[in-house]
Chain A
């Protein structure tokens, strides 16, 4: 190419030498003078006196030289793709040095440096419990910075293997994959496609690894498990606030490295939220839990069973659940012994007896996918029923081809359950399956009542929110004081608990709350963290930038220019009177 460039001044020199003024004697100079030109009147613009062929040859040589240099255009779709896998687990929020930046910040800075130095078409994959693709491919650090705002590191874990698989699928076989995490790789990175950058640091950390609050009669029991992840014994203070406590209660915990301490707290039923905190350390997110009271509202059940024995058995089973109250008004569940119309929002369970009974001792066919059949064994059970009862809906329990228990969903999400059962000739009501069956029924109905499925969940869990029939949209007020609106389909909506703290769900006039806590021992354990870079990117041509070659364009232009130059020369040579 340099040789080609050298011809440019050479050509200019040739034309300069050729273009120098040559001396010629003419008979009379007057005939050469342009008499139209005014002798006085300012400057006269003359045409460029360099011949056209010079420029044509100059451009042709320049075109050939450029073509020899192999120019290529790097277009958006031909940029080398880079898929960045971002460890979204909350251990990335741990400070890598005392009072300094987090592993996430360090990883983001390293990524920004790489993106400034090289031009990539970047795609991001959030590696949480499940990998998630972040939008369309981006180019340049500025766009990437915007996308990285979604990298909040609030996941209870990072499935990097699944994220790498997704990255390979998204980027293709020649894509470069970069993993930004806080620990060493456990994978083979010798295939030349993946680099693994870890920005973490081994640190001691105290964390809540379990936090539950369960109702038991008139009391609620709180279980807290505190674990010290470290290499040497350490102390920390556990502070309890709220609940029934008038003042914060502080306990000093001293634990060996890697050991766990269980703390039980008893609260009166319906006590306010209890907050438990540990002293500050490398990772703040797991130093605090908030436990809200579980919903204590029982299911109102009306029992319209005429048979005294059967009624007694039903009421006794309902009382055993601890979550139902037998009431006559505004029932949410009606248990009766005859077919009838549905009332309000109440579910209806009809225990239908008959005269032409048959006793079935099994084997029974149970649809285990139903909540109602959870835990049912029906071992040694004699179930008397009428073969011709004609239960409607989908059968849940069958004896041969005779349905014994069925369920059908009615308008408005209400359910009608029918059971063909004759208590006098059965022993089902005397077996453990009887209270199990009614506990499942009450629990199922309770889950169908407006409210959240759980008051305290782990980070990353999904909370089911049941809403009134008329609700179309809910608003979830997040711990970060931002709101998220969700559209309701049916009567249920699932809310992902992806932020630590109190979540408030507003639907119509009702308000439900649940608390999300970061209680995951694996993420709180920072002793396996580290820093370093592993793996390399293959330098073969297949992994280089895909560029569109422009060589043909310059060659074509050079050929065109040479043809034009030949045409000009031929025209000048062929002129008459020469």
Chain B
């Protein structure tokens, strides 16, 4: 990791300290864990009584209650779960677009989510796309210890997923940090992302210049990932066409996310970095204060 990322990671850790990951609607699986689930389980934490039903473990019969009421009553205990967070960071070059805060926002947001996961007692695992989805070195450590965080890949996230998919934890919470600015059908990626996942969050981090470009006149636009360029005359109609294309792309992602049960949250890097208010993620159910 370059030293330039350290301030962003510190900024993210400081931001994430104010948040915790929210409880998942779908309980994470696991026979043993550090947290109690919302379902009945095998922990020692008493939760409720109910009548015996065939198949119940006879060791859970409350004999005292049976003596008093002559009814077969079973004791229920809370489930013991071990929640997990998988974060996949888009490592393509477009995430470090020059002149924008995309890199800063992405790095800091990853650190904040990791810190919030720590606060919530979640285990976590970070992956970085680029030549497949590689585990971030020391990603389970404090954010300031992360190694190898760089945005220099020419490979898009779907290509990375196909090349080397991450080893997702089943029933875990999965978060994708990316600008999603590649051409392709989002369903394939989202299907892979949501396979056996407790919840999936797709956080689209766009620069303000991505969302509402301002250049006018004769421009030579260079693709940040491929390096290819093309001449454009940017006038009102050209900008309108770009905004239309981007909006259609977002709608595709939003629709596909809804179909697989994922949550799509668009973010503007510059706005995020202005005051690090993650209330939009709280509203989306990803974080709690």
| Partner-B contacts on A (CB < 8 A) | 18-35, 46-47, 49, 51, 572, 575, 577-578
Min CB distance, B15 to chain A, in Å? 24
Within 8 A of A (CB), among B161-196: 179, 181-183
Q: How far is the CA of A338 from the CA of B230 in the complex (A)?
A: 128
* Chain B, residue nearest A23 (CB): B220
Residues A27 and B207 in contact, CB atoms below 8 Å apart: yes
With most chain B CB atoms within 10 A of its CB, the pick from A19, A49, A575 is A49
Min CB distance, B282 to chain A, in Å? 27
Residues B218 and A26 in contact, CB atoms below 8 Å apart: no
Min CB distance, A458 to chain B, in Å? 89
Given A49-B233, A577-B212, A28:B183 Cβ within 8 A? yes
Digitize B229-247: 1 where CB-to-A-CB distance is under 8 Å, 0 elsewhere.
1111101111001110110
Min CB distance, B61 to chain A, in Å? 63
Q: Which of B179, B207, B218, B235 contacts A21 (CB 8 A)?
A: B218
Residues A23 and B215 in contact, CB atoms below 8 Å apart: no
Residues B218 and A28 in contact, CB atoms below 8 Å apart: no
Residues B215 and A22 in contact, CB atoms below 8 Å apart: yes
Residues B94 and A27 in contact, CB atoms below 8 Å apart: yes
Residues A578 and B214 in contact, CB atoms below 8 Å apart: yes
Residues B215 and A28 in contact, CB atoms below 8 Å apart: no
Q: How far is the CA of A30 from the CA of B217 in the complex (A)?
A: 19
Q: How far is the CA of A572 from the CA of B223 in the complex (A)?
A: 27
Q: How far is the CA of A22 from the CA of B219 in the complex (A)?
A: 5
Residues B223 and A34 in contact, CB atoms below 8 Å apart: no
Q: How far is the CA of A30 from the CA of B210 in the complex (A)?
A: 12
Q: Is B249 in the interface zone, CB < 8 Å from A?
A: yes
Q: Is B225 in the interface zone, CB < 8 Å from A?
A: yes
* Chain A, residue nearest B234 (CB): A32
Min CB distance, A348 to chain B, in Å? 107
Residues A18 and B249 in contact, CB atoms below 8 Å apart: no
Q: Is B213 in the interface zone, CB < 8 Å from A?
A: yes
Contacts of A32 in B (CB 8 A): 221, 230, 232, 238, 241-242, 245
Contacts of A578 in B (CB 8 A): 212, 214
Digitize B195-221: 1 where CB-to-A-CB distance is under 8 Å, 0 elsewhere.
000000000001101101111111111
Q: How far is the CA of A169 from the CA of B237 in the complex (A)?
A: 69
Min CB distance, B33 to chain A, in Å? 40
Residues B233 and A28 in contact, CB atoms below 8 Å apart: no
With most chain B CB atoms within 10 A of its CB, the pick from A24, A28, A31, A577 is A28
Contacts of A29 in B (CB 8 A): 221-223, 226, 228-230
Residues A21 and B231 in contact, CB atoms below 8 Å apart: yes
Q: How far is the CA of A22 from the CA of B214 in the complex (A)?
A: 13
Min CB distance, A199 to chain B, in Å? 70
Given A21-B218, A21-B231, A27:B241 Cβ within 8 A? no
Q: How far is the CA of A46 from the CA of B238 in the complex (A)?
A: 12
Contacts of A21 in B (CB 8 A): 218-220, 231
Q: Which of B181, B209, B218, B231 contacts A31 (CB 8 A)?
A: B181
Min CB distance, B158 to chain A, in Å? 14
Min CB distance, B91 to chain A, in Å? 14
Q: Is B97 in the interface zone, CB < 8 Å from A?
A: yes
With most chain A CB atoms within 10 A of its CB, the pick from B99, B225, B237 is B225
Q: Which of A18, A28, A34 contacts B217 (CB 8 A)?
A: A18
Contacts of A577 in B (CB 8 A): 212, 214, 243
Residues B242 and A25 in contact, CB atoms below 8 Å apart: no
A/B interface sample: 12 pairs, CB < 8 A: A19-B217, A21-B219, A22-B215, A27-B206, A28-B223, A29-B228, A29-B229, A30-B183, A31-B181, A31-B246, A49-B235, A575-B236
Q: How far is the CA of A575 from the CA of B218 in the complex (A)?
A: 19
Contacts of A19 in B (CB 8 A): 217-218
Contacts of A575 in B (CB 8 A): 236
Q: Is B98 in the interface zone, CB < 8 Å from A?
A: yes
Given A29-B223, A31-B245, A32-B232, A24:B215 Cβ within 8 A? yes
With most chain A CB atoms within 10 A of its CB, the pick from B212, B229, B231, B236 is B229
Min CB distance, B277 to chain A, in Å? 22
Contacts of B97 in A (CB 8 A): 25-27
Q: Which of B229, B230, B233 contacts A46 (CB 8 A)?
A: B233
Contacts of A35 in B (CB 8 A): 245
Q: Is B43 in the interface zone, CB < 8 Å from A?
A: no
Contacts of A20 in B (CB 8 A): 218
Min CB distance, A568 to chain B, in Å? 11
Q: A29-B228, A47-B237 are in contact. List 9 more A-B contacts (CB 8 A).
A: A22-B217, A25-B221, A26-B209, A26-B223, A28-B181, A28-B182, A28-B224, A32-B221, A578-B214
Q: How far is the CA of A514 from the CA of B218 in the complex (A)?
A: 94
Q: How far is the CA of A27 from the CA of B223 in the complex (A)?
A: 6
